[in-house]
Structure 1
Amino acid sequence: MVTNDAGELVTCSMDDTLRYTNINKKEYSSSDVVKMDFQPKSVSVASGGLSLAVCIEQVVLLKDKKKVFTLDKLDYEPEVGDIHPGGTTAAVGGTEGIIHLYSIQGNTLKDDGKTLKVLGTVTDMAYSNDGAYLAVIDDKKVSTVFSVADGYTVKNEFHGHHARPVTLAWSPDNEHFATSGMDMLVYVWTVADADKRIKIPDTHRLHHVSALAWIDEHTLVTTSHDASIKQWTITY
């Protein structure tokens, strides 16, 4: 789930839909439900009413809650995607460790043949809030940050997880990001220094962290299948 600049919570689910829920009203109507052809795995948003749904065997671009472009018959299995905050690029990562960069031109996704390589299956990815970086985690336990302005060259690689990382989130300061995985560890990384890290062990003792979110640059929230939500104060 993500929030857009229209004050809506955008969610995707195993019921093959995207839903747009007004956060202030805390209710949604049937007119705010978009049916997908396949089960969606990931949803992201950008300014201008753009949404990107990464589904099984399909990538869908939406604008103002309507499907405007679909990529299907792909030669890879997409896992997760994210739209650059500027609304210019959609990055989609797959099972084979390749991130495909599509340019957003009007209501279409154009494949310019630009790809990035990481070591394993992409488990999560996100652009920093200012669009300067793209962070990617993979099942080989590596976190990679690419510098967008430098043609997506590798800024840094981060190692520390003992098991598959599953989720990441950027701090509002765009200088740090958090990752967590099946090892029940949370790391807060510093983009400019791969050796500078904050390690939070046993964040949820009964299950791994399922999602991360920042309230502000010093406050991190974790959720887990242990039915709890925890808030952490991060001091650098």
Structure 2
Amino acid sequence: KNYSSTILSGHSKPIQSLTAHRNEGRPYIYSGSHDGHINILSGGWRLPGHSNLVAKMVVNKDGQLVTCSMDDTVRFTDLRRKDASDLLKMDFQPKCIAVGPGGYALAVCIGQLVLMKDKKKCFTLENLGFEPESAALHPGGGTAAVGGADGMVHLFSIQGNTLKDDGKTMEAKGPVTDMAYSNDGAFLAVADEKKVITVFSVADGYAVKNDFYGHHAKVVCLAWSPDNEHFASGGMDMLVYLWAVSDPDRRVKIPDAHRLHHVSGLAWLDEHTLVTVSHDASVKQWTVKF
């Protein structure tokens, strides 16, 4: 068996989102629940939260926790000071948040994309011609990839304070549910409702590197390992898979990762430690080997 698990903690409500972040070498785990609370696992204290479900969370290069919620807001919380928090009101409900270098963040809202720089809104794009569901900003800067309910990935350029449609699209196998660039920016992984993960090779003009099959239901979350050679996926089928980007057949399957509930979030603490959360309200840590 290539994995073992420990239950770390729980919320009183289903957990929807998760991220992890190293501060002075020590890993911290942040989780967000249906009631809007944001917990720090290792600290046992709560950060400023939201008044409704925390849909997505991510930590940017400046050490800010960026969260978006069904309360129509995006929050930036300074993790060093913990009380310093900026709340931005969106015109429509945000479903996903992505961060990149240069102080940029992108909120995927119902029917629109909102580009932010240095915790302020700088550009809104509407009438997209598709319903945006998920996004990822390239770690090298300059590019935003947006996944749609149309089953396509649309590329945009970030130019100063604007977002410009590059007119380039790649095809997923179904409506996009989650996406992530590898930490080195070499690959873009895209999960979809048709149970497939497609990995695109950025340097090859986003040609398909590999397709990954194995989930029995919609894939809902993705996370790249710090080694950039492996990634994890979680689905509505309660399965977690660990994949090798170069070989779809070399996979580790974790069945019943969270019993009776789907996996709602994934984060890596290091190359051999994965954290998962679920609507069962528990946080689990997995030690994995390939």
The answer to whether the aligner puts 1:182 opposite 2:236 as a matched pair is yes
State TM-score, norm by structure 1: 0.97
Looking at structure 2, the residues matched to 103 and 223 of structure 1 have their Cα atoms a distance apart, in angstroms, of 33
- Which letter does structure 2 place at the counterpart of 1:175? E
The answer to whether the aligner puts 1:63 opposite 2:117 as a matched pair is yes
Question: How far off is 1:46 after superposition?
Answer: 0.9
**Correspondence for 2:19:** none
SS in 2 for 1:75: coil
Question: How far off is 1:213 after superposition?
Answer: 0.2
**Correspondence for 1:166:** 220
Looking at structure 2, the residues matched to 232 and 215 of structure 1 have their Cα atoms a distance apart, in angstroms, of 10
Show structure 1 runs of 4+ deviating over 3 A: none
Identity of aligned residues (%): 70
Looking at structure 2, the residues matched to 28 and 194 of structure 1 have their Cα atoms a distance apart, in angstroms, of 43
- Which letter does structure 1 place at the counterpart of 2:247? D
The answer to whether the aligner puts 1:221 opposite 2:275 as a matched pair is yes
**Correspondence for 1:23:** 79
The answer to whether the aligner puts 1:114 opposite 2:161 as a matched pair is no
Map 1:199-210; keep pairs closer than 5 Å: 199-210=253-264
Looking at structure 1, the residues matched to 207 and 128 of structure 2 have their Cα atoms a distance apart, in angstroms, of 25
Question: How far off is 1:173 after superposition?
Answer: 0.3
Question: How far off is 1:22 after superposition?
Answer: 1.3
- Which letter does structure 1 place at the counterpart of 2:73? T
Map 1:19-58; keep pairs closer than 5 Å: 19-29=75-85, 32-58=86-112
Looking at structure 2, the residues matched to 167 and 20 of structure 1 have their Cα atoms a distance apart, in angstroms, of 22
Structure 1: state its 5+ residue gaps: none
Q: Which of 84, 87, 101 lines up with 2:155 in the alignment? A: 101
Question: How far off is 1:27 after superposition?
Answer: 2.1
Looking at structure 1, the residues matched to 263 and 127 of structure 2 have their Cα atoms a distance apart, in angstroms, of 33
SS in 2 for 1:149: helix
RMSD: 0.8
Looking at structure 2, the residues matched to 193 and 38 of structure 1 have their Cα atoms a distance apart, in angstroms, of 40
Once the two structures are superposed, residues 146-181 of structure 1 have per-residue CA deviations (whole angstroms, 9 ceiling, x without a partner) of 000000000000000001110000000000000010
Looking at structure 2, the residues matched to 111 and 206 of structure 1 have their Cα atoms a distance apart, in angstroms, of 41
Looking at structure 2, the residues matched to 107 and 22 of structure 1 have their Cα atoms a distance apart, in angstroms, of 23
- Which letter does structure 1 place at the counterpart of 2:250? K
Looking at structure 1, the residues matched to 166 and 101 of structure 2 have their Cα atoms a distance apart, in angstroms, of 22
- Which letter does structure 1 place at the counterpart of 2:190? V
Looking at structure 1, the residues matched to 226 and 218 of structure 2 have their Cα atoms a distance apart, in angstroms, of 25
The aligned length equals: 234
Once the two structures are superposed, residues 24-57 of structure 1 have per-residue CA deviations (whole angstroms, 9 ceiling, x without a partner) of 222244xx11111100000011111000000000
Question: How far off is 1:206 after superposition?
Answer: 2.7
Question: How far off is 1:143 after superposition?
Answer: 0.5
- Which letter does structure 2 place at the counterpart of 1:112? D
Q: Which of 156, 160, 179 lines up with 2:210 in the alignment? A: 156
Question: How far off is 1:96 after superposition?
Answer: 1.1
Question: How far off is 1:110 after superposition?
Answer: 1.0
Structure 2: state its 5+ residue gaps: 1-56
**Correspondence for 2:11:** none
